[in-house]
Amino acid sequence: MTTRNGERTNFGKTLIVVIAAVPFLYPFFFLLTTAGKTNAEFVRHPSGVPSQLTFANITAAWRQARLGPAMMHSVIAVVFSVGVTVVISCAAGFWFLRHQGLGARVLRGVLVGTMALPPPVFIIPLYVLLNGLSLTDNLLVLGLVYGTTNSAFGLYLMSSYYQRGIPVDVLEASELDGASPLRQFLSVVLPLGKPAIGTLAALSFVWAWSDLLLAVVLIQDPNKRTLVPAASMLADRYNTNIPGNAAAVVIGLLPMLLVFLAGQRYLQRGVLAGIGK
Amino acid sequence: MTRATELMTRPAASRPATVPGANRGKTGRLLRATLDLPFVLPVTALTALFVLLPTGTAIYYSFTDWSPGYDSPWIGLRNYTQLFQSTIFHEVLGNQFFLLLGLPVWIALPLILAYVLHERVAGASIFRTIFFFPATASPALLGLLFAFTLSPNGPLNGTLSKLGLGSLRREWLSDPSLVKPVLIGVLTWSSIGTGIIIFSAGLSAIPSELFEVAELDGAGWWQRLRFIVVPGLRSLIEMWAVILVITVFVGMFPWVYTLTRGGPGYSSRTMDFDIYTNSLSNSLYGSAAAEMVVLLVLVGLILMIGSRGLQGRRGAK
């Protein structure tokens, strides 16, 4: 057996990696088998495969525990936030390509620097502020907040991508052709930035979908909860119904798994971009 | 052929290297800057409103008896003195530093695995995928998963019994002496994938001849790890350490919320969870604000120390 590079496989090392992978797969095996078990069977046999596969937990979580609507809320807030992040990051990246004076560099530093401001520091005052304006319990506002917090990284990513990938004279040439800034942005900059936009979209989706802190603080109306907080609170309330909790986690993780499988390359690139590679 | 494509195909030397419009003089530039503003305004306004303003608010109200919706009289440093005298806060800080004991593991494990995966392992990219998924999935959902995996009658204890290791059964999440090590373990699990991706990228930048020559010279696996991999990845290791330390201080909320709610007692409460509970559950907004500022200062210090370490070494090279 050989690896992709044609070297001979080292079986000892492969074995080490296989053993190391077990703790990473086992919890997911447990998750799926538990979600497919009746509670009675779980109490008797907490580990192992279900004797009879049931989807009752999934449908119960979806209907009675109302994860269905929560999923809808997540889709609204998260998709909106990804749109916001991509649009404002690309637009600002273009601006920082056209303006590179001292003022522009300071502004870029401040905006990118907000990446270092952790949500636990500003989320409570933000809640108080938005509550005063009756803007809490609002999915679009939640989306706008995700869109903003993710755009610090987005701006960094897009503007460094543009600065490396778009020669200034391409822009100049299209300006000489009489293209307005908006025209240049739409027909030159956006198409050239597509790979970075993929990375940004995948990462900002995952970040917004994953979030618990902003969601529990900014959405306190139980009828408007997004998926992750809804699942977290369900697991708390019905703590004894473990198969029900497992079903809630399955429902929450499924969209993440799909995005992961489709965009893993982008996500890896995003991680590396984050450390300046 | 448009002028744009003409310019792109022209040899580089003849291209003017100026920023578009830079030759229009001062008024031209000012006009251009104004017309361009719509591109940068949204992100600036939103960041100012949703991030910078609330951060400033936190700093200001940390010096007041903050009660949202009512008068918040100035009380100087009283929130801070109360915070630093609070035994709960001492315990919370202690928890934070206890969790940092996980650092060597969080760094060494992905480093070693990335190095093992680097050389002659079948299906290396499949394994990287397996390790990476938990790093991208929602910490809150994974926290829920572990909350029942580790429950007293859950599958971990069940499996231990099946294997004849029943004496190792534990109350993983409600034993005060176990809960923090368990959190360290869960963080190892969830962070390893990102570490592997970072270190794998670093390893592929090290020339493979270096490893081959070392092997010919009789350097064993361990020696190559010590004398080639670790020095070669030093700056990435430092960067990863900074990311991990910051995660311990500001990213624990979803884990604590779903796994322990800070308990038993306060034995697993972290600063981000404490800020949340103190303000929204206990209405102690003033002291929560002081804690936000302390957290902000801590993050600033970590970043300063981290970037100084990186720059210092770069300068020495």
- What integer pLDDT is reported at residue B83 of this predicted model? 93
Question: Which of B281, B229, B159 is closest to A45 using CA atoms?
Answer: B159
Share of chain A above pLDDT 90, in %: 48
**List of chain A residues whose C-beta atoms are within 8 Å of the C-beta of residue B296:** 117-118, 121
pLDDT of A232 strictly over 50 = yes
How far is B274 from chain A, CA to nearest CA, in Å? 10
Reading the block at residue B31, the tokens are: 């006009």
Q: What is the ipTM of this complex?
A: 0.91
State yes or no: pLDDT of B202 exceeds 80.
Answer: yes
Residue A19 CB partners (closer than 8 Å, separation 6+): none
pLDDT, position A239: 64
Query: Is residue B83 a contact partner of residue B89, using CB atoms and an 8 Å limit?
Result: yes
Report DSSP state, residue B277: I
Task: Report the C-alpha gap between A18 and A15 in whole angstroms.
Answer: 5
Indicate the Cα dihedral angle B285, B246, B186, A214, nearest 10°: 40
Q: Report d(CA A205, CA B57) in Å as an integer.
A: 29
Asked whether residue B315 carries a pLDDT value surpassing 70, the answer given is no
B285-295: pLDDT as tens digits: 999 999 999 99
Mean of pLDDT values over A39-50: 80
Q: Residue A73 and residue A140: Cα distance in Å, rounded?
A: 10
What six digits make up the tokens of B296?
A: 């902000």
Distance CA A206, CA A105 (A): 29
**pLDDT tens digits, residue range B57-87?**
999 999 998 988 888 889 989 999 999 999 9
Q: What percentage of chain B has pLDDT greater than the value 70?
A: 90
Q: Are A243 and A57 in contact (CB under 8 A)?
A: yes
Tokens of A277: 């590679």
Rounded Cα–Cα distance for residues B249 and B305 (Å)? 15
Return the higher-pLDDT residue of A145 and A166: A145
The pLDDT tens digits for B257-304 are 999 998 899 999 999 999 999 999 888 999 999 999 999 999 999 999
pLDDT digits (tens, 9 = 90+) for A78-101: 999 999 999 999 999 999 988 888
Q: Which residue type does B146 have?
A: F
Q: Which of B1, B3, B39, B310 to mutate to test the interface with A (most CBs of A within 10 A)?
A: B39
- Helices (DSSP H) in A168-241: which residue ranges? 168-176, 181-184, 190-192, 194-210, 213-218, 227-237
CA A270, CA B218: separation in Å to the nearest integer?
A: 38
Closest approach of chain A CAs to the CA of B273, in angstroms? 8
The sign of the CA dihedral A85, B298, B112, B130 is: negative
pLDDT tens digits, one per residue of B208-247 = 888 888 888 888 888 888 888 999 999 999 999 999 999 9
> For B104-121, what is each residue's pLDDT tens digit?
999 999 999 999 888 878
Beta carbon pairs, A and B, within 8 Å: 315
Give B158 to chain A, closest Cα distance, Å.
Answer: 6
At residue A6 the predicted structure's pLDDT band, cuts being 50, 70 and 90, is low
Helix or strand (DSSP H, E) at B158: helix B155-162
Name the 3-class secondary structure at A239: coil
This prediction has a pTM of 0.89
Q: Which value, to the nearest 10 degrees, does the dihedral of the CA atoms of residues A150, A152, A158, A162 take?
A: 170
Asked if B120's CB is within 8 angstroms of A275's CB, the reply is no
Q: Residues of A with CB below 8 A from B68's CB?
A: 128, 131-132
- The per-residue pLDDT for range A106-164, each reduced to its tens digit, is 999 999 999 989 999 999 999 999 999 999 999 999 999 999 999 999 999 999 999 88
Q: Which residue has the tokens 């009879």?
A: A52
pLDDT higher than 60, residue B6: no
Return the minimum-mean-pLDDT range out of A97-111, A240-254, B26-40: B26-40
